[in-house]
Structure 1
């Protein structure tokens, strides 16, 4: 009676090996980094306008400087990771973030606030490309070993990042009873813990070890890579679209409900959707290949904006809840990102020829940051409750990218995420 059960136990498909300790440390660091960031940044504008009595335009300048010093300088952080290796750049990013939040918590004047803001932004420009480069190299090694695919590892990274972006504001809200300086010190403590953990346990020899080439060599390789530059331009609309959670979504809430009170609940919905679907969709996308997953992800993103445009032009029947278009927008936007994001990040090393990977990731992120800066400025000038044109325009941008990526994906080099080699 026991023999068949024993046979079944012997023939049962073995479970996947656990992730290596170094990869788990990278993911845990990404989680903690996001918790610390979102602990402070969502409450920065309130602190500047209320506690420091800054004018609205000055608050906008500070927030713009923060975005530029982070997203705009990713190209530098990626090149430094190529030149000096992941570990030293990651550790430097953590140390700079600790210093930045200490300065920001102490700052009582505009120059000091700007100094703290630049430091906190530049820290992410060092940390994030270094982690992304390490995940790309580790993902290839894990894929070759049959543990999981590189796209799946990027999907896990997206999940832990989203969890961190949910836990951070929740912790920040709990600290509203204390002054902003104390909140900054708590955030600095989190980054100090990340620094200590990586100084103690991060491998000293990493897959992105320095090759001796000057930093400019990585940028030169990127600028000569025309296919990658086209990919960067097409991919930039995904980050522009995602950032409309902070610009266009509040406008839709004003149109539909007359207030932005539901914004926090929609951010929770975004986190739930990401955690629930990111890894399964990344696996499906990997099986179908970049030629299918990338255009489909961008098309779903375009559909998110098209749906709101349709509801704005022809309001649905009164029985439909007022928040339905906004909820559908959030769900579709995150489904599109979940489909396209990991596959797009997986495509970067093959497009780079597996060389100067950090520089390529950095330029990809900076290209997205430039698109957000220019695109959001244009959309912000057009967006107002009830306006249809900006939503149509925002739908057309990822739709054009979907068409371009469908063509580009046919020419991906060997080793890229295509259905044939998955």
Structure 2
């Protein structure tokens, strides 16, 4: 029995890109703010502005990258994004002033944003109708391998010099650019590329099923952001945040080990919108249970439930975007989806910080977690209602029918012949 599904070489090249872009990002992430504030001499406020510039640039680059991948082809767009990202990271070696570092992170952020939609659009376009969710599940596995390995490699390089750290991360992106150029077939060039209709691009923003799904999903990402933001703060309230890294490592390992099994379950028995509902209820339940936490191991148990919900939500949301997108605009749809993710993350960071501060001010620490649990249930109900709305549920029905034909559910009555 094959360990990995037969998804085709091109998809595995893209999955390799996902793995190493996450590795390159997470090589830097634990040390980025420290380097800016200590070695580069920026104030904490200026450090935050530099980091925020990268986030905003990534969102802008995502919208741009989606459009460019539809107009000029995915391979060319992804290679360009990787080269821009690598060049931006090299700039941190020589940048020494706030304006230079601000501009450098803008460049790096735009490059990362340009790459992201093309990678997802490529997976969606190359996977067969019945394997899209499986392919996106393995995207999650690849990302979490990178998340696990990146800080380890980053620690090794950072102990030697920040120059080696930024240079090593840049090399990762340059090598990926070359590998994508050599191993991926040219999807279009020149006259072979579709002529992008600007009116067609604007129609994405009048696609009601996609917009309604995206609106609800913004709050899913805002809620999921609390895993990285509020959970460490709660750990500090209980005892100490020194072991919080273990939770993130354990979460990544769980995804690597269990994502395939979880995906086989929900693709066999659940409608995609039902999967989203189940996943966000699990995330909300895990976050809500933090209200009862009194030790680090309670947080570990909550994190396991949150991670299980993540395994439902992450690949399914990408597969739904792929199924709702028009083939000639699939990159643009994923560009908007990446923007939605970033917007939800920004809302979650702002609201989560305010809620944690408010809970301390009124001396009622369970407050944020109870609200998160309630929001998870509310969002689960919203997906259930969308499941009943035919303009959204119907485009996803052929995918579900194909799955149930190949994997009949034991809970469905057999048809009489």
The answer to whether residue 267 in structure 2 is matched with residue 267 in structure 1 is no
* 3-state SS of paired residue (2:314): helix
CA distance in 1, matches of 2:14, 2:399: 26
Quote the offset at 1:77 in angstroms. Answer: 1.4
1:193 is aligned to 175
Q: CA RMSD in A?
A: 2.2
Closer/same/farther in 2, CA of residues 19 and 419 from structure 1, 3 Å limit? closer
CA distance in 2, matches of 1:356, 1:169: 36
Deviations 1:168-211 (A, max 9, x none): 1110011122221221111111111101111112101269x731
Quote the offset at 1:165 in angstroms. Answer: 1.0
Q: Which one of the candidate residues 188, 207, 213 is aligned to 1:231? A: 213
1:341 is aligned to 314
Q: Which one of the candidate residues 359, 381, 398 is aligned to 2:332? A: 359
- 1:154-169 equivalence runs, <5 A: 154-169=136-151
TM-score, normalization by structure 2:
0.88
- 1:314-353 equivalence runs, <5 A: 315=294, 322-353=295-326
1:146 is aligned to none
1:40 is aligned to 28
Q: Which one of the candidate residues 63, 70, 77 is aligned to 1:89? A: 77
Quote the offset at 1:415 in angstroms. Answer: 4.9
Q: Which one of the candidate residues 278, 281, 299 is aligned to 2:259? A: 278
CA distance in 2, matches of 1:83, 1:345: 21
Q: Is the 8 A contact 1:70 1:123 kept in 2?
A: yes
TM-score, normalization by structure 1:
0.87
Deviations 1:117-146 (A, max 9, x none): 1111111111110000000011136x3xxx
The answer to whether residue 351 in structure 2 is matched with residue 378 in structure 1 is yes
The answer to whether residue 89 in structure 2 is matched with residue 107 in structure 1 is no
CA distance in 2, matches of 1:392, 1:138: 42
Q: Is the 8 A contact 1:248 1:383 kept in 2?
A: yes
CA distance in 2, matches of 1:350, 1:230: 15
Q: Is the 8 A contact 1:238 1:337 kept in 2?
A: no
- 1:129-148 equivalence runs, <5 A: 129-140=117-128, 143=130
2:194 is aligned to 211
Quote the offset at 1:394 in angstroms. Answer: 2.6
CA distance in 2, matches of 1:111, 1:179: 23
* Runs of 5+ consecutive residues of structure 2 not aligned to the other structure: 404-417
CA distance in 1, matches of 2:52, 2:380: 29
1:388 is aligned to 366
Deviations 1:275-299 (A, max 9, x none): 1221111121111221421110010
Q: Is the 8 A contact 2:10 2:184 kept in 1?
A: yes
- 1:28-67 equivalence runs, <5 A: 28-67=16-55
Quote the offset at 1:390 in angstroms. Answer: 1.8
Aligned length: 392
* 3-state SS of paired residue (1:212): coil
Q: Which one of the candidate residues 261, 267, 284 is aligned to 1:302? A: 284
Quote the offset at 1:334 in angstroms. Answer: 1.4
2:412 is aligned to none
1:20 is aligned to 8
2:238 is aligned to 256
2:394 is aligned to 413
